[in-house]
Structure 1
Amino acid sequence: MSRGLGERWLRAAYGDAAWLRALRPLEALYRWVQARRAAAYREGRRTAWQAGVPVIVVGNVTLGGTGKSPLVAWLARHLKASGWRPGIVSRGYGGKTGQGAGYPLRVTTQTPAARSGDEPRMLVRQTGMPVVVDPDRPRGVRALLEQGCDIVLSDDGLQHLALGRDIELVVVDGRRGFGNGRCLPAGPLREPLSRLNEVDAVLVNGEAAFAPPDGAYRFRLAPARWRALADDALFPLAPLPFRGPVHAVAGIGNPGRFFDTLADLGVEAKPHAFPDHHRFTAEDLAFDDDLPVVMTAKDAEKCDAMTLAQGWVLEVEAEPSADFVAWLDRRLAGLR
């Protein structure tokens, strides 16, 4: 799907455009395939691999950004502070190792984002913990176990049923919610909303503009600091480390959230939205002026090799509600 068509479809799915009704027969087929696959695992015709250590899956039922990866980073730090040795497994969307070779891929901050994907490298930078990329998640988890991990976080993978799990967490964007409530390709849902009745917890990012599921927890993404792209020097949020207006670029699932955050911080930004996981080139950032360029931490992983003397990264951190933290700690105590 082309960039323009993909963006149009996503806007339509979250806005319940009338033309999507023509795709409902395909939605019915999609749901039938999904239901058959889930039934195969539930009835034992397919078997999920069990890691032998606790596995926590953090995923979405929708397409588009929800704030999932910052929550994974928070979970990893919380687990370590609680005495666990966590590792993170990811599909590594957007990365390529070449015809399947090179998996499982142990990610470092020196791994090219073109190989690992942007989010896994960002998670290494933010947590300092083992991160492995592998489309075959059980194989990726085995690589984490070889590194001494005693608990695993699966970044995404809610629909990857081949990996057994102890806790399933679903993250929802508070502003966009579930769109028109329909499954692909007639809507943004990867699975029917009934799937929420099966997971352990639902977390809503930010204030909900919809009626959240009963018992859902809240969290927010809070700006934490500025980082200079050129040398990784850190600066407080205020005063701003740059002057005047900036170019704001975002290749994430919900660019508008990033632009709104900049406005809340008092940044005068000229917004430039790109598709999620966009592979930035020097031409993308070659503006006809000398204004600073501001980006997300995820996008920065694909831009750190570029020469941007005035490149700035806004680091954000997830802040879950106290009731979710208490719930999580009770569940973790039962997994020891």
Structure 2
Amino acid sequence: MHNPLSILLRPVALLYGSIMQLRNALFERTLFSRWSSPIPVVSIGNLTAGGTGKTPLVDWIVKYYLSIGCKPAIISRGYRRESKGVKLVSDGNRVLLGSREAGDETTMLAWNNPDAIVIVGEKRKAAVTWMIRHFSRRVPSVIILDDAFQHRQIGRELDIAIINAAEPYFKARLLPEGRLREPLKNIARADLILLNKISDLEEAEILKKELEKTGRPVIKARIKTGDLVCLSGEFISSDEAPLPESLNALAFAGIASPGSFLESLKSKGVTVSAHRFFKDHEPFTAKKLQSIRREADEKGLCLITTEKDYFRLLGSPELISIITARPSYYLKIETDIFEGKEILQKMLREAAGLK
């Protein structure tokens, strides 16, 4: 049975898709020009509005570059930040801005990669030129453009597109009917396709073979559950120190795919007795968090959120104080590339001009 709202939105989605295709055609025919950065650029993005595991992949790539002695800089829009213009989030030595000024995901990347330069700016070219001017004595080796598959104004040495294997890829609909930012066939524009959040290996292999028809290499990854961290900063769970069996939680988050968060908690041994989910990047308010804490009080539950949401809360001492009135934690996650890691590493080295 068709969703009436979906039928109403379909004409708008078709118009949106036509506009995106026209825009892409203008870039392909060079009627829209692309600016070439003097520093090699690696773009990481996706076809859908959130939920692909992009931020953990950016984190993985930054850490890989640092591990081989290559100094990266992250350029991001800083989605849902309250500031405007180009802002320096981290100078590669210390984090200078919080989530309100830089955005939650960007702040998380900066804290997790203290040796990387991190900059936000609505106009990526302006952010890159600002960085080159201000870091002329220690210019980064490579620029990582975060969430830039649709941002075609800047040329790139490597274009990585992520697909969420947990979603019905072939049934995806364009905005605003669905979450697709552009038609599925445009995935062929990528240099490398990363099939992420894999749980069913057989289904993933079918999707991989279909994606390989683009002629692009396709690699496989899943989300790996990391430590559970107390909001005071204490790690309470790792492979060496498992969780107490009695940990009973209310999970809350504002992310695109909350189901995967619940699965990660269950795989960690956490009993999720209640949950509250909000829209991706939806601002937390004192009223919402007080309601969450009251429910946790009544049911005797601890509170657990995502790492991204933790960094959003970190920008407001008032919100942190509401949550930490009860035992509170956030869950770290990371990308586990279990097939094709060597292909990605080779392409990253080549993009940065390394052997």
Structure 2 counterpart of 1:259, one-letter code: L
Give matches, 1:312-323, under 5 Å: 312-323=329-340
* Alignment pair present for 1:291 and 2:295: no
Aligned residue for 2:159?
Answer: 168
Structure 2 counterpart of 1:151, one-letter code: V
Aligned residue for 2:18?
Answer: 32
What root-mean-square deviation, in Å, do the aligned CA atoms of Structure 1 and Structure 2 show? 2.2
Structure 1 counterpart of 2:121, one-letter code: D
How far apart, in 1, do the equivalents of 2:105 and 2:98 lie? Answer: 12
Q: Which moved more, 1:275-284 or 1:59-68?
A: 275-284
Q: 1:331 to 1:264 in 2, by over 3 A?
A: closer
The secondary structure found in structure 2 opposite 1:319 is strand
* Alignment pair present for 1:332 and 2:349: yes
Aligned residue for 1:245?
Answer: 248
Q: Give the structure-2-normalised TM-score.
A: 0.83
* Alignment pair present for 1:157 and 2:148: yes
Structure 2 counterpart of 1:28, one-letter code: L
Whether the 8 Å CA contact 2:223–2:335 is kept in 1: the answer is yes
Question: What displacement does 1:239 show?
Answer: 2.4
How far apart, in 2, do the equivalents of 1:285 and 1:245 lie? Answer: 18
Aligned residue for 1:3?
Answer: none
* Alignment pair present for 1:184 and 2:184: no
Aligned residue for 2:313?
Answer: 303
Aligned residue for 2:8?
Answer: 22
Identical-pair percentage: 28
How far apart, in 2, do the equivalents of 1:16 and 1:298 lie? Answer: 35
Aligned residue for 2:195?
Answer: 204
Cα deviation digits, residues 6-48 of structure 1 (max 9, x gap):
xxxxxxxxx9846423333222211221122122222222211
Give matches, 1:95-174, under 5 Å: 95-97=81-83, 100=84, 103-108=85-90, 109=95, 111-128=97-114, 129-145=116-132, 146-147=134-135, 148-174=139-165
Question: What displacement does 1:106 show?
Answer: 1.0
Q: Which runs of 5+ in 1 are unaligned?
A: 1-14
Cα deviation digits, residues 97-156 of structure 1 (max 9, x gap):
1xx3xx211114452312211100000111111111101011112233343212011110
Question: What displacement does 1:174 show?
Answer: 1.5
Whether the 8 Å CA contact 1:235–1:241 is kept in 2: the answer is no
Which one has the bigger helix percentage?
2
Structure 1 counterpart of 2:28, one-letter code: R
Count of matched residue pairs: 317
The secondary structure found in structure 2 opposite 1:266 is coil
Q: Which moved more, 1:149-158 or 1:173-182?
A: 173-182
Q: Give the structure-1-normalised TM-score.
A: 0.87
Structure 1 counterpart of 2:172, one-letter code: G
Structure 2 counterpart of 1:114, one-letter code: R
How far apart, in 1, do the equivalents of 2:181 and 2:96 lie? Answer: 33
Aligned residue for 2:234?
Answer: 233
Cα deviation digits, residues 209-261 of structure 1 (max 9, x gap):
5623124211111112122212x122333422695311111111111110111
Structure 1 counterpart of 2:199, one-letter code: E
